[in-house]
Amino acid sequence: MTTYTPYLVSSYGVAFIAMFFLLIWVRRQRQRTLKRLKQWFKRDFQ
Amino acid sequence: MWRYFYQFSSPKIFYERMQRFIPWLAWAAALCLVVGVIWGLCFAPSDVQQKDAFRILYIHVPAAFLSMGLYSFMGVLSLIYLIWRIKLAGFLIKMVAEIGCLMTLLALITGSIWGKPMWGTWWIWDARLTSELILFMLYAAILAVHHAYPEGEQADKLIALLVIVGLVDLPIIHYSVVWWNTLHQAQTFSFFSKSHMDASMLPPLIWMLLGFSFYSSAMILTRAKDALLWRERRQKWVKSLIEVSK
């Protein structure tokens, strides 16, 4: 543990948490698109 | 070879190729980031003046590099869209903007965290910092236009024009440390000239640069692939694809 450890932890932490959330958001968007498409086709056929 | 690249303008071919390509990109990104972080935090020697705080640059530099790199890519896409009317290019701009916006925000935040122990302040209205903040605002403006306008060619054209106008900020960011006497240090790493960084500190930076680039590409292509599916929903190939996935 040095004087700079909190700065290192916060910078790496912020970056990787942001990248992780982006990954989750992208995956959710994918599922949302597929769901929307299925509903759209269902409505189209009815 | 040209034929191979030209085929990418077809949404169906683009979708099929990306479906196979994205997992490779994602694994490459994970590998590069793990190697880069371990090497950067555990094995790279600490700096004489900055001590361990210099290790923040292994995150800050790739984020800043991509914030500008992705904007340049958006500029190329805008030109392709406006000159050759390739719809896929206009459509990709918005996907690149989402990731570019995050990278710019990361560059600003990590730079600020580095600035506190090194400069004694979180923020200063320095030329480099201010021009990077303007880049973030440009990304935000592009995303705002994208959300304000319904999908279609008019929105794509407006976004492409906005991107081209914003390109003027890139040379300002790059040369800000040369044109003005700034607190931000001059360029220490370059692909084309001798680097001012010690050779033992360089490999983790290259791994992190590769990792961030692969990660951004995987995210952009995944977003593009899904948005493309929705945009092309009236096409037969999308219908058959959804039927197969049921």
Query: Which member of A15, A29, A37 has the closest CB to residue B110?
Result: A15
Outline where chain B has alpha helix (H). 2-6, 11-38, 57-84, 87-119, 127-148, 153-166, 169-179, 202-231, 236-245
Q: What is the spatial distance between Cα B6 and Cα B205, in angstroms, rounded to a whole number?
A: 34
A9 touches chain B (CB under 8 A): no
Query: What confidence score (pLDDT) does residue B45 get?
Result: 86
Q: B111 has which bridge partners?
A: none
Nearest CA in chain B to A1: B52
Per residue in B42-85, pLDDT (tens digit) is: 998 888 878 888 899 999 999 999 999 999 999 999 999 999 88
B215 contacts A19? CB cut-off 8 A: yes
Average pLDDT over chain A reads: 88
Q: Is A19 on the interface with B (CB under 8 A)?
A: yes
Q: By the CB < 8 Å criterion, does A25 face chain B?
A: no
**ipTM for the predicted complex:** 0.90
Residue B190 above 90 pLDDT? no
The better pLDDT of the pair B139, B13 is held by: B139
pLDDT at A41: 82
CB contact under 8 A, B110 and A11: yes
Q: Which among B2, B9, B24, B6 is positioned nearest to B222, based on CA atoms?
A: B24
Residues A30, B226: C-beta atoms closer than 8 Å:
yes
